[in-house]
């Protein structure tokens, strides 16, 4: 639900859960793993204070996801926004609101239009969702900026393929999403590819140039540095595993989630990098570790996907559930309900549901959440510092 965080329709706190509150019998250690010594079965890590240490393991599970790869399009790495973390979503919303603030004080109309144009690259689930919620946010906060009442905010969605949301089986749902996005005044370009990015614009393969100050990229991923450093073969940037989720060629390395390439016994296809598969993989892998500890063989992963949802903004969504298709407000309502059902603890569910319900009649909050810059110290500011014991 990161696109909804970008659009300020839900709080960032609604999409994160403290792991310590979920697994009381687990020992938690906040650190960054920087190297795995497979021969000695040791994980080397860096603590928050910069000190290093290591830990021996009996079994090691990789669940570190993937990283955004903005190098796919020349020039994009220095200008593009990726959407992988809550921090990314907060930064993106802050940037968008900041552009409105700049546009309100800009006198040149062409520059104002550039400030109020957002380009989204990629028409898959993430691209469609973030484009829809950015358009909603721009439309709803525009009234707070009377200085730009004559300028129309613009969202351009670029997609290489012939239809949006190619992951969906039903082409009619892709057509519905296209219709709703365009009704929400999003400029959707099919069969359109970004060729390069400069300091002022996105240049398309067709030769067209779109001037913009904000680019969101939802295509291109790469394995994390930790996975690359293992020295193991990768397929499509992911770590291939056996059917039981054990990393090939090892006895005590396992993987799940986006960083892994796990064959699904249900249809013999690799598992897609989606949340519902990661959740089921985690449950199955936990059972497999227990089986191995007890001397029993682990079970292969097998899961029938339940369906897919995409929230496209304006309280609309598209959904495929066990082969059935839904669209519009009903699909959006079910998507919110499904997310609530997956939150841990009843008190957490109740708090988030109450927050969502109370926010419905109110406009989005346009406060920028970026931290304030640190104030200079007395010495850095050139002011004399009082000695101890003086007044």
Distance CA 161, CA 193 (A): 9
- 76: Cβ contacts below 8 Å, ≥ 6 apart: 70, 121, 194, 197, 215, 217
CA distances from 349 to 19, 199, 334, 353 (A): 16, 44, 15, 6
Strand 324-328, strand 316-321: pairing = antiparallel
pLDDT digits (tens, 9 = 90+) for 15-27: 888 888 777 788 8
| DSSP secondary structure string for all residues of 149-178 | TTS--EEEEEESSSSS-TT-S-HHHHHHHH
DSSP state of 18: -
H or E element, residue 48:
none
Pair 5, 12: CB distance under 8 Å: yes
pLDDT for residue 168: 84
Q: What is the pLDDT of residue 383?
A: 40
Contact, 230 vs 36, CB < 8 A? Answer: yes
* 98-116 pLDDT tens trace: 999 999 999 999 999 999 9
* Predicted local confidence at residue 371, as pLDDT: 58
- Architecture of domain 1-370 in this structure: 3-Layer(bba) Sandwich (3.50)
Give tens-digit pLDDT for 303-349: 998 888 888 888 888 888 887 888 889 988 888 888 888 777 787 78
CA distance 104 to 117: 14
Give residue for tokens 């397929």. 235
* pTM beyond cutoff 0.75: yes
- Rg of the chain, C-alpha, whole Å: 24
Q: Is residue 388 pLDDT above 60, yes or no?
A: no
Q: Identify whether the C-beta of residue 156 lies closer than 8 Å to the C-beta of residue 164.
A: no
Alpha-carbon distance of 116 to 212, in angstroms, equals: 7
Longest dimension (CA), the chain: 77
């Amino acid at each position: 639900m990161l696109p909804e965080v970008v659009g300020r329709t839900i709080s960032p706190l609604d999409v994160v859960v403290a792991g310590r509150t979920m697994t009381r019998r687990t020992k938690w250690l906040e650190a960054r793993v920087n190297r795995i010594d497979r021969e000695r079965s040791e994980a080397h890590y860096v603590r928050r204070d910069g000190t290093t240490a290591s830990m021996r393991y009996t079994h090691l599970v990789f669940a570190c996801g993937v990283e955004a790869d903005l190098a796919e399009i020349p020039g994009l790495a220095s200008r593009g926004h990726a959407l992988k973390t809550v921090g990314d979503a907060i930064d993106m919303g802050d940037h968008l609101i900041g552009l409105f603030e700049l546009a309100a004080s800009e006198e040149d109309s062409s520059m104002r239009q550039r400030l109020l144009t957002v380009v989204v690259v990629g028409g898959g689930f993430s691209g469609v969702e973030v484009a829809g919620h950015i358009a909603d946010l721009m439309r709803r906060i525009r009234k707070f900026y009377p200085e730009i009442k004559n300028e129309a905010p613009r969202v351009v969605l670029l997609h290489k393929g012939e239809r949006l949301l190619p992951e969906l089986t039903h082409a009619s749902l892709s057509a519905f999403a296209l219709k709703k996005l365009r009704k929400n005044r999003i400029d959707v370009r099919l069969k359109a590819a970004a060729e390069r990015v400069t300091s002022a614009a996105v240049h398309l393969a067709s030769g067209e140039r779109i001037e913009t100050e904000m680019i969101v990229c939802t295509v291109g991923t790469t394995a994390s540095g930790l996975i690359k450093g293992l020295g193991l073969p990768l397929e499509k940037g992911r770590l291939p595993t056996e059917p039981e989720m054990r990393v090939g060629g090892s006895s005590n390395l396992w993987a799940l989630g986006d960083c892994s390439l796990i064959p699904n016994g249900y249809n013999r296809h690799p598992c897609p990098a989606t949340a519902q598969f990661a959740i089921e993989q985690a449950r199955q892998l936990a059972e497999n570790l227990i089986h191995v500890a007890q001397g029993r063989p682990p079970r292969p992963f097998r899961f029938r996907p339940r369906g897919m949802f995409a929230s496209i903004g304006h309280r609309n969504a598209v959904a495929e559930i066990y082969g059935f298709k839904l669209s519009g407000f009903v699909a959006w309502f079910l998507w919110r309900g499904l997310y609530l059902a997956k939150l841990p603890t009843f008190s957490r569910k109740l708090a988030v549901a109450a927050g969502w319900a109370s926010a419905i009649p109110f406009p989005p909050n346009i406060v920028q959440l970026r931290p304030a810059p640190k104030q200079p110290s007395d010495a850095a500011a050139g002011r004399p510092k009082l000695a101890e014991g003086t007044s």
